[in-house]
Amino acid sequence: MAGQSASDDRVSVASRGLTAAQVHALDRWHRRANLPILVAAVVPLVVTSPNVRAVAIVVGLGSWLVFLVDLVVQRRIVPGYLHSRNGRIDLTIVVITFPYYLIPGAGSYTAILAVARLARVARVLMATRGLRRLARQLGKVASIAGVMLVICSLAAYEAEHKTNPEFGSIGDAFWWGITTLTTVGYGDIVPETTAGRLAGVALMLTGIAILGLLAGSLAEFFHLEEAEAEEAEAAGGATAGPEPVADELTALQAELRAVERRLADLAQRTRTAANLSSTTTEVSHVSDR
């Protein structure tokens, strides 16, 4: 299955000495936990010093609980997980990232806790094959987008700056190119010539294509398509109710044994007939004498 070939490298590394059921359970959990861990690591970096006490509690405890649940689940799947290197790292970061800043007088540790959470998600993601593939894909997309941005912005500047005061400098042209490529389109700079508008159309089409590629790459990274495929396969399997492989093998073995018995019976009859024919021939010779 395609999903199995795209399993995380950390599952492969952690699978040494594990049963097939444990490896499968870890793989499924890692696919589900990637997105919550990312969110739990990024949110505390954005909301580092919330002014509202309720927000501080939700952000602090909520993000920490995500890491705690991840550690507990992996410990439940693999009883000796805490004795491994990754298990010790996870346990250390869970202890360090407890929201101590909620305790009066401990607010100076907020930045350290946020960096520790980011280190946790970095360890998880850098150990995955999906992130490396995503980085390669994003690198290609960024290269194409950069080339198109430079070419179209310069082309629009060359076509517009003599007659259109909105393209007063190359910087203005690049600002227009960025807003057009990202499909934002503020409208503060508008090309008037045919060449400038064609450059805008090229940037618009490039931006739409890039958004589609980014959406597909992120869906592949978070295994969203694989999850849907697994659910559909599970639903189809529950409806069809296919016979287990073990039952099929058992039935096949029974049929083979039946064929063997029939062949043995046929061989016995053949030998008996041969012996009877030989006896009849000998009796006939004796009678002739």
Residues 113-160 have pLDDT tens digits of 667 766 766 666 655 566 667 777 778 888 888 999 999 999 999 999
pTM: 0.45
Residue matched to tokens 């936990």: 33
Measured distance CA(3)–CA(185) in Å, rounded: 38
Measured distance CA(64)–CA(127) in Å, rounded: 21
Can you give 126-150 as a three-state secondary structure string?
HCCHHHHHHHHHHHHHHHHHHHHHH
- Domain residue extents for the chain: 2-127, 132-231
Selection from 143, 175, 141 nearest residue 156 by Cα: 175
Token digits of residue 51: 């002014």
Token digits of residue 274: 């041969």
Residues 195-230 have pLDDT tens digits of 999 999 999 999 888 888 888 777 776 655 455 455
Token digits of residue 163: 């007659």
Assess if CATH 3.40.50.620 describes domain 132-231: no
Measured distance CA(77)–CA(26) in Å, rounded: 7
